[in-house]
C-alpha cells in the first residue's frame, strides 16, 4: 500500500509509547537535580502582609526559599498577554501586572507566592508547608456578574470595574435596524461553561544552568518551545535568547494549556541560576486544576432576525468573557478574533454585530482551550438556528439549508473570507448516515418503553491555520504566525525534516513523513521528523489552532520545492539531460524517455562529495523555508447527535453520533479520524459532564478527578466519522486542519438533541441529569 498522502499508515511514533519508552519531561532526571515546590495562595484575593521563611530555610535538604521580591529584584519581568485589543472607545486593554511569584497581592487560589528548592521532592513539599505567609483577606469576585457589579472588589488597580476591554466588531446600527424590521426574532441567553483542559500529562519543567557557559536549558511540557524561549528571554528576561535552549520532549497532550509560559518555568529557570542546581517541578493534578489555564466561560445574549421566508437578516451578539485573575498569553484574542469572526457560521448573514466585555475575576487565568473561541461561536450560532427553527415551526435542517453559503469565496461581515466548501454536501451525508428520515419511528419506539428520544444537528465552521502574519499583526498580535521547516537530505539519502510544529499526540512523525514519501517516493522509514528542540530546529511558532497541517506542512512543502529543484539540477547534470526531462518517483531520479536513473542515495552522495556538480552549485542538499499563510482555513462539518433521555432520572444516553467533516486534503485518514474522536469526546464532556465550579469566595470546588467529571469510556458512544472534503484553495497541499473540529461542533449537537427530546430549549451545559430533569419538569408545567 502507498505510504503517501491519503494512506492510513500506522504511526511511526507508537513503538516507544506502547513499550513504555516514551520520554516525557518528568521521565528525565538530570545530574545534580533538586526539586521545586510552590507555596500557593489559599485565598482568592488577599494582600500579602508578610512572609516568614525562617522555619523552612532551616529544614533538611532545603537549598533556597525564594519569594517575589527577590524575583523582581533580579529583574525578572512580568508575565504578559501577547495580543493587544483596543476597546470601542479607542482605549488600549487594561493589562494588570502578573509577577511569577506574587509580591504584594494574590488574586486567585493557587497564585504562587514562594518557591522552595530542596534536595528531594518530599523535602521541598514539607518545607513549603513550613513557610508562613500572612494574608489580609479581601472580598473576592469569582464570577463574571460579581466582577462587573457595582462596588465589586477591584482586582487590578489599572482595570476600573475589572473591565479589561469593551470591544466590538461589525455594524451596529444596520444590524439593529435589520432585527427591528424582522418578521421573526429569536433571542437567547447562552452560557458557555468553564472547563479545565486536563491533558493527562501534568505540566512539568526541568531547568539547568551551566555557569561556565552562562547557558540555560529548560525541558518543558510545551506545545511551542521556540515561543517559550522568545517570551522567556524578550519579556521575562530570565535568560538571553542565544543562551537558552528549550526542549519539549514527548508531551502528553496539550489542548492549548501547554501553549502558555507559566510562573513555574520562569521561577525554575531563575532558581537554577541562583542555586547552581538543576531543578525539577512537576504539577500534581490538583495543582493542574489550580494553575493550568482554563477555557471558555462566556455569558452571551444573542438576537437573530429572520424575514418572512426564513432568511436571516441580522445577528446581534453581546458577550461577557471571563479572563480569570491575569491575562494569559493569548487570552485577549480568544473571545474577539477567534470568536466573533466566526459568528456568521455557515450562513449568509448580511448584518452582524458583536460586542465583547472582558473582565477579571479572582479565578485561574483563562486562555485558549481546544477550539478557542470557535466552540463558543459555534455553540451560539447553532443553538440559535435550532431554536429559531423550532419557534418558526420549520425543519431545523431545512432552515439551515436555506441559509447556507454556497458560493465561494464568501466574505462575511466579520472579517473572514471563506475560500471553499460544500455545506449541503456535508449535511446530506450526515443526514443519510444518521437516518434522519427514520427518526420519528425511532422516537415512537423509545416512547413505547418510556424514554424520550431527541435528535440534534450542528453545522459548525471554524478557522484554522492561524494565520497570515501581517493580518494578525494589524489586529494586535505581538508575533507573526508563519511556520518554518528545514529539509536535510543526508549523503546516504535518508531525510530529516526539522519542523517548528510540535507533536503532542497529533502524529506528526508519521504524517509529515508521508508528505515527503508522497513527494519523492522514498520509504517512510527513511524519513525522520525532528521537532521540539530550539537547538535543533531553526525556529517555529508551534502547534495550536490546528495549524500544523495547513501551516507547518506548507513550510515543509516549500522547503521540499527547493530540494526538488536542486535534485533536478544535479540529476540533469549527472544524467546529461535537461532538467525538464527529469522526474522523481519511487525514490529515484529518472531521465524521462531513457532507462537512465539515479538512486536517491546517489544524488545525496553527489551533493555532498561535490566532485561533479553543475558549475556554480553549492555542495550539500539542505533547504529551509518559512511559510506565511495567505488566509485562515475553514474546516466545516455537520454533526448529528441522537439521544435518549430517561424522564425518571434526567439521564441522557447518546445513542448515535455522526460527524461529516470537510477538512480539505487528508494526509492520513486514520489519524484524522482519531482527532475527530478525541474532539467529540471533549465536546460531549463539555455538553454533559464537565464544569469548573467556584464558590462565591473564589474557592475552586472541582479541583480533582473526584469532583471534575472527565468523560470515561462508558460516557461516550462509538462515533461515525465521515468526510466530504473540498480542497482548501489557499495552501499548497489543500489542507484545512482537523484538530479542534470535534470539540467545536459537538456541544451544540448534543444540546440540540436533548432539548429536542425534552421539549424545552432552556437548558445549559453541562446538561447533568438534575438539570435535564428540572428542564423537563419546567416543560411539563408550561404545557399544562
Q: Where are the beta strands (DSSP E) in 171-256?
A: 184-192, 204-210, 215-220, 244-247
Cα separation, 633 vs 408, whole angstroms = 13
CB-wise, 11 or 601, nearer to ligand FES?
11
End-to-end Cα spacing for the chain = 63
Contacts of 90 (CB under 8 A, 6+ apart): none
Cα separation, 682 vs 743, whole angstroms = 6
3-state secondary structure 649-700: CCCEEEEEEEEEEECECCCCHHHHHHHHHHHHHHHHHHHHHCCCCECCCCCE
CB-wise, 59 or 97, nearer to other proteins?
59
Helices 396-403 + 374-392 axis angle, to 10: 120
CB-wise, 142 or 251, nearer to other proteins?
251
CB-wise, 253 or 523, nearer to ligand FES?
253
Cis peptide before 467 (omega within 30 of 0): yes
Cα separation, 196 vs 719, whole angstroms = 23
DSSP helix/strand/coil, 56: helix
* 497 DSSP β-pair partners: 487, 529
* Closest separation in Å from C-beta 753 to other proteins: 18
3-state secondary structure 478-492: CCCCCEEEEEEECCC
Q: Which residue of 505, 550, 571, 637 would you call a contact of ligand FES, by CB under 6 A?
A: 505
Cα separation, 20 vs 274, whole angstroms = 35
* Closest separation in Å from C-beta 253 to ligand FES: 5
Can residue 1 be called a binding residue for ligand FES (CB under 6 A)? no
CB-wise, 25 or 412, nearer to other proteins?
25
* Closest separation in Å from C-beta 625 to ligand FES: 31
Residue 392 interacting partner from other proteins, ligand FES, none (CB closer than 5 to 8 Å by kind): none
Query: Are the beta carbons of 419 and 412 closer than 8 angstroms?
Result: no
CB-wise, 12 or 724, nearer to other proteins?
12
CB-wise, 18 or 149, nearer to other proteins?
18
CB-wise, 413 or 505, nearer to ligand FES?
505
Can residue 200 be called a binding residue for ligand FES (CB under 6 A)? yes
Residue 678 interacting partner from other proteins, ligand FES, none (CB closer than 5 to 8 Å by kind): other proteins
* Closest separation in Å from C-beta 399 to ligand FES: 38
Instruction: Compute the half-sphere exposure of residue 299: CA atoms within 13 Å on the CB side of its CA.
Output: 11
Q: Where are the beta strands (DSSP E) in 171-214?
A: 184-192, 204-210
Residue 506 interacting partner from ligand FES, other proteins, none (CB closer than 5 to 8 Å by kind): other proteins
Residue 180 interacting partner from ligand FES, other proteins, none (CB closer than 5 to 8 Å by kind): none
Cα separation, 345 vs 336, whole angstroms = 15
CB-wise, 68 or 505, nearer to ligand FES?
505
Instruction: Kindly write out the interface string for residues 639-678 of this chain, putting x where it contacts ligand FES by CB under 6 A and - elsewhere.
Output: ----------------------------------------
* Closest separation in Å from C-beta 504 to ligand FES: 8
User: Hey, CA dihedral for 99, 103, 109, 112, is it positive or negative?
Assistant: positive
* Closest separation in Å from C-beta 258 to other proteins: 11
Total binding residues toward ligand FES, as defined by CB under 6 A: 4
Length of the chain in residues, anyone? 784
Contacts of 79 (CB under 8 A, 6+ apart): 98, 99, 100, 235, 236, 261, 262, 263, 266, 326, 328, 329
Residue 24 interacting partner from other proteins, ligand FES, none (CB closer than 5 to 8 Å by kind): other proteins
* Closest separation in Å from C-beta 744 to ligand FES: 19
Cα separation, 171 vs 610, whole angstroms = 63
* Closest separation in Å from C-beta 547 to other proteins: 17
CB-wise, 197 or 252, nearer to ligand FES?
252
* Closest separation in Å from C-beta 20 to other proteins: 2
Query: Are the beta carbons of 422 and 408 closer than 8 angstroms?
Result: no
Instruction: Kindly write out the interface string for residues 236-265 of this chain, putting x where it contacts ligand FES by CB under 6 A and - elsewhere.
Output: ----------------xx------------
* DSSP secondary structure code for residue 580 in this structure: G
Instruction: Kindly write out the interface string for residues 451-490 of this chain, putting x where it contacts ligand FES by CB under 6 A and - elsewhere.
Output: ----------------------------------------
* DSSP secondary structure code for residue 424 in this structure: H
For 476: left if phi > 0, alpha if psi spans -120 to 50, otherwise beta; the answer is: left
* Closest separation in Å from C-beta 275 to other proteins: 21
* Closest separation in Å from C-beta 672 to other proteins: 10
Cα separation, 535 vs 538, whole angstroms = 7
* Closest separation in Å from C-beta 427 to other proteins: 23
* Closest separation in Å from C-beta 123 to ligand FES: 22
CB-wise, 224 or 506, nearer to ligand FES?
506
CB-wise, 397 or 513, nearer to other proteins?
513
Can residue 491 be called a binding residue for ligand FES (CB under 6 A)? no
Contacts of 260 (CB under 8 A, 6+ apart): 293, 328, 329, 330, 367
Query: Are the beta carbons of 771 and 755 closer than 8 angstroms?
Result: no
Residue 641 interacting partner from ligand FES, other proteins, none (CB closer than 5 to 8 Å by kind): none
Residue 766 interacting partner from ligand FES, other proteins, none (CB closer than 5 to 8 Å by kind): none
What are the residues binding other proteins (CB under 8 A)?
A: 10-11, 13-24, 26-27, 29, 122, 198-202, 250-253, 255, 284-286, 504-507, 670-671, 673-675, 677-682, 704-706, 710-714, 716, 718-719, 742
The rounded radius of gyration (Å) of the Cα atoms in the chain is: 27
- Which positions touch ligand FES (CB under 6 A)? 200, 252-253, 505
Amino acid at each position: 500500500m502507498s505510504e503517501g498522502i491519503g494512506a492510513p499508515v500506522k504511526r511511526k511514533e507508537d513503538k516507544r509509547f506502547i513499550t513504555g519508552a516514551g520520554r516525557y519531561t518528568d521521565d528525565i532526571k538530570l545530574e545534580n537535580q533538586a526539586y521545586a515546590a510552590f507555596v500557593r495562595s489559599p485565598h482568592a484575593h488577599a494582600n500579602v502582609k508578610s512572609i516568614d521563611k525562617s522555619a523552612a530555610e532551616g529544614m533538611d535538604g532545603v537549598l533556597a526559599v525564594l519569594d517575589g521580591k527577590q524575583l523582581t529584584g533580579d529583574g525578572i519581568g512580568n508575565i504578559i498577554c501577547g495580543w493587544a485589543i483596543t476597546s470601542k472607545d479607542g482605549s488600549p486593554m487594561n493589562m494588570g501586572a502578573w509577577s511569577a511569584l506574587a509580591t504584594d497581592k494574590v488574586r486567585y487560589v493557587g497564585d504562587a507566592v514562594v518557591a522552595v528548592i530542596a534536595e528531594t521532592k518530599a523535602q521541598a513539599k514539607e518545607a513549603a508547608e513550613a513557610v508562613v505567609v500572612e494574608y489580609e483577606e479581601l472580598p473576592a469576585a469569582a464570577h463574571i456578574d460579581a466582577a462587573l457589579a457595582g462596588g465589586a472588589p477591584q482586582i487590578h488597580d489599572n482595570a476600573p470595574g475589572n473591565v479589561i476591554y469593551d470591544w466590538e466588531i461589525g455594524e451596529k446600527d444596520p444590524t439593529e435596524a435589520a432585527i427591528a424590521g424582522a418578521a421573526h426574532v429569536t433571542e437567547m441567553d447562552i452560557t458557555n461553561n468553564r472547563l479545565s483542559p486536563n491533558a493527562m500529562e501534568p505540566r512539568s519543567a526541568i531547568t539547568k544552568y551551566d555557569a561556565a557557559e552562562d547557558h540555560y536549558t529548560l525541558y518543558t511540557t510545551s506545545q511551542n518551545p521556540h515561543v517559550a524561549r522568545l517570551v522567556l528571554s524578550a519579556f521575562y528576561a530570565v535568560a538571553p535568547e542565544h543562551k537558552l535552549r528549550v526542549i519539549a520532549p514527548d508531551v502528553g497532550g496539550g489542548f492549548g494549556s501547554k501553549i502558555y509560559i507559566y510562573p513555574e518555568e520562569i521561577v525554575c529557570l531563575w532558581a537554577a541560576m541562583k542555586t547552581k542546581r538543576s531543578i525539577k517541578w512537576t504539577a500534581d493534578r490538583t495543582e493542574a486544576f489550580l494553575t493550568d489555564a482554563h477555557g471558555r466561560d462566556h455569558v452571551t445574549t444573542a438576537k437573530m432576525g429572520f424575514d418572512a421566508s426564513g432568511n436571516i437578516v441580522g445577528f446581534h451578539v453581546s458577550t461577557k468573557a471571563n479572563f480569570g485573575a491575569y491575562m494569559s498569553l493569548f487570552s485577549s484574542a480568544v473571545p474577539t478574533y477567534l470568536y466573533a469572526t466566526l459568528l456568521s457560521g455557515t450562513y449568509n448573514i448580511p448584518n452582524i454585530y458583536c460586542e465583547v466585555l472582558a473582565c477579571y475575576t479572582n479565578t485561574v487565568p483563562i486562555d485558549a482551550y481546544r477550539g478557542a473561541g470557535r466552540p463558543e461561536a459555534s455553540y451560539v450560532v447553532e443553538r440559535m438556528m435550532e431554536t429559531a427553527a423550532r419557534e418558526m415551526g420549520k425543519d431545523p435542517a431545512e432552515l439551515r439549508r436555506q441559509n447556507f453559503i454556497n458560493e465561494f469565496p464568501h466574505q462575511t461581515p466579520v472579517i473572514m473570507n471563506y475560500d471553499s466548501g460544500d455545506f449541503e454536501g456535508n449535511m446530506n451525508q450526515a443526514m443519510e448516515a444518521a437516518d434522519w428520515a427514520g427518526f420519528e419511528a425511532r422516537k415512537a419506539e423509545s416512547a413505547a418503553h418510556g424514554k424520550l428520544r431527541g435528535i440534534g444537528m450542528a453545522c459548525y465552521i471554524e478557522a484554522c491555520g492561524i494565520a497570515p502574519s501581517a493580518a494578525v499583526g494589524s489586529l494586535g498580535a505581538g508575533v507573526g504566525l508563519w511556520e518554518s521547516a528545514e529539509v536535510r537530505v543526508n549523503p546516504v539519502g535518508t531525510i530529516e525534516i526539522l519542523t517548528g510544529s510540535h507533536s503532542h499526540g497529533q502524529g506528526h512523525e508519521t504524517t509529515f513523513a508521508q508528505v515527503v514519501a508522497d513527494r519523492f517516493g522514498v520509504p517512510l522509514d527513511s524519513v525522520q521528523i525532528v521537532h521540539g528542540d530550539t537547538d535543533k530546529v531553526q525556529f517555529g511558532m508551534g502547534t495550536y489552532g490546528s495549524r500544523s497541517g495547513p501551516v507547518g506542512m506548507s513550510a515543509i512543502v516549500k522547503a521540499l520545492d527547493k530540494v526538488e529543484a536542486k535534485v533536478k539540477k544535479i540529476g540533469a547534470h549527472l544524467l546529461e539531460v535537461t532538467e525538464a526531462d527529469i522526474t522523481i518517483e519511487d525514490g529515484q531520479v529518472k531521465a524521462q524517455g531513457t532507462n537512465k536513473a539515479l538512486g536517491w542515495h546517489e544524488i545525496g552522495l553527489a551533493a555532498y562529495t561535490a566532485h561533479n556538480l553543475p558549475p556554480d552549485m553549492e555542495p550539500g542538499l539542505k533547504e529551509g523555508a518559512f511559510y506565511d499563510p495567505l488566509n485562515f482555513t475553514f474546516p466545516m462539518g455537520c454533526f448529528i447527535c441522537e439521544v435518549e433521555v430517561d424522564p425518571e432520572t434526567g439521564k441522557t444516553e447518546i445513542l448515535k453520533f455522526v460527524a461529516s467533516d470537510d477538512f480539505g486534503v487528508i494526509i492520513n485518514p486514520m489519524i484524522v479520524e482519531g482527532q475527530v474522536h478525541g474532539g467529540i469526546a471533549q465536546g460531549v464532556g463539555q455538553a454533559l459532564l464537565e464544569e469548573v465550579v467556584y464558590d462565591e469566595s473564589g474557592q475552586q470546588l472541582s479541583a480533582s478527578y473526584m469532583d471534575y467529571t472527565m468523560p470515561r469510556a462508558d460516557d461516550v458512544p462509538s462515533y461515525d466519522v465521515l468526510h466530504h472534503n473540498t480542497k482548501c484553495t489557499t495552501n499548497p497541499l489543500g489542507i484545512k486542519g482537523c484538530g479542534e473540529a470535534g470539540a467545536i461542533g459537538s456541544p451544540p449537537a448534543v444540546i440540540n438533541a436533548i432539548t429536542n427530546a425534552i421539549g424545552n430549549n432552556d437548558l445549559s451545559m453541562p446538561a447533568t441529569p438534575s438539570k435535564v430533569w428540572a428542564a423537563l419538569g419546567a416543560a411539563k408545567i408550561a404545557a399544562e
